[in-house]
Structure 1
Amino acid sequence: MARRPWHRDPDGFEQATRADLQQRRWLRLHVLLLAALTTALCWGVSALLRRAGVESLAWRPLAAVLLTWPLYLGLLWAWGRWLLSRDSADLGDLVDGADLVDGAADLVAAGARAAGRGLPRVPGSAVSEAADDAASGALDALGTLGEADEAVPLLVVVGVALSLAAALGFAVFGLFGVDVLLGVAVELAFASMGGALAWRARREGWLMHALRRTTAPMLGLAGGVAVAGALLHHWLPQARTLPEALRLLLG
């Protein structure tokens, strides 16, 4: 088969790149791992901020989320470059995606139970299903939370739960998506070609693409975290971490 004149066909190059990545890589698994790593980085940033003296729940979670954003953009760049490489096996060739996610979920649940914060087990490899289950569980528990501590008004509990559910929704369905990672990889592929193709295509570049796709979800995530943190700080000023605040709410 004759090689396509990519320098004359930017659209064809983009379609071929997307098709190649979707065929060679387990993109949903990559997105799930990227989300898990970003979440771990956010917890690490929050821990560093606390060691630096930022104790207030009104500011530390929000600052941790905002400081993690550039780290996430860096991860998108590195992950996109690795997806384009052809000299290494894909994770899907080495492990079973469902087994990996189940194992990670078991470890998280075990750690949470050890800390007195039992979590439901995340089913399969569908991130959206995990988000739906988490949001449904939070809403189902509103009545119990409202009765757990009479010092905290029910509306405050509802506000915290809805804010955290909204933040989770923005993160899962906005920040961590296959289209975001795939779009960054395509932009990096165009940049690597250079020459006539890059000039003819007039692409926006990976960073502008990532910012355009993640700015609104990040602002939504930050807003949800900010509202929840402000409510917890006002009504539970003695709490220094989100798990501690939840334990106080549960009595």
Structure 2
Amino acid sequence: MDEVEVVVAHSERATLRVGDVFLKVDPDQARIDAEVEAMALAPVPTPEVLWRKPPVLALAALPGTTLGSLGGPSTGSPAAWAAAGAAIRELHDAPLPARPGRAGRSIVALTAELDRECELLVSGGLLPADLVTRNRRVAEAAFRPWTPAFTHGDLQIAHLFVDGDRVTGIIDWSEAGRGDALYDLATFTLGHEEHLDDLLAGYGTDVDPDVIRAWSSLRSLLAVRWLVEHGFDPFAPGCEVDVLRSRM
């Protein structure tokens, strides 16, 4: 009999695996609707939707393995990273979806959110002021005009599967929509910036690496407090706080 594996779980949603089926439990029906809609529109391989019965979405497992995980080693070859870059570029060049995505927040809204979060990180004693100030300065490079793209919005390295050097699919599309393409690249290389050149070999080099690094700092600053409050450890080796420390 297949065992139930808890893939990820927190107060907002949970993902379970039973054999070759993933069960996503999410009380936010709009978020599930957005995920299914994005998978149908995306020009890259996505999991097959087996059935939906709110608040549960059942998806078929993808073949292959991920390139790695945040805080863990990357097992992918340079060719696999390049293949990932090519798949991500195909997504970004696709016709725009109707929905704004997580990567599409306005500069005004992001600036306000970042300033508020930086203040809370320091006043709450989670991070030292010099670390926050330095990364807040680095994050400024992300605040520039950008052309909307079809973005995944939560393109963690653990969300893209490969079989050898071939991309077999991308999972977790609930944050997808119109947004800044470089946000996806920053999320994908978070904690694995040593593979950025390999990724861009497939994606294309018409991007600014400094903006990618800026998004990495920004994303990490916004994530630390949420992760701590939901039982995750951003202080683990290779995770968000290490990304912030690398800017010092």
Q: TM-score range by the shorter chain?
A: under 0.3
Between Structure 1 and Structure 2, which shows a larger proportion of strand residues?
2
Please tell me whether Structure 1 or Structure 2 has the larger radius of gyration of its CA atoms: 1
| Relative contact order higher in (CA < 8 Å, ≥ 6 apart) | 1
Output the TM-score relative to the length of structure 2. Answer: 0.22
Output the TM-score relative to the length of structure 1. Answer: 0.22
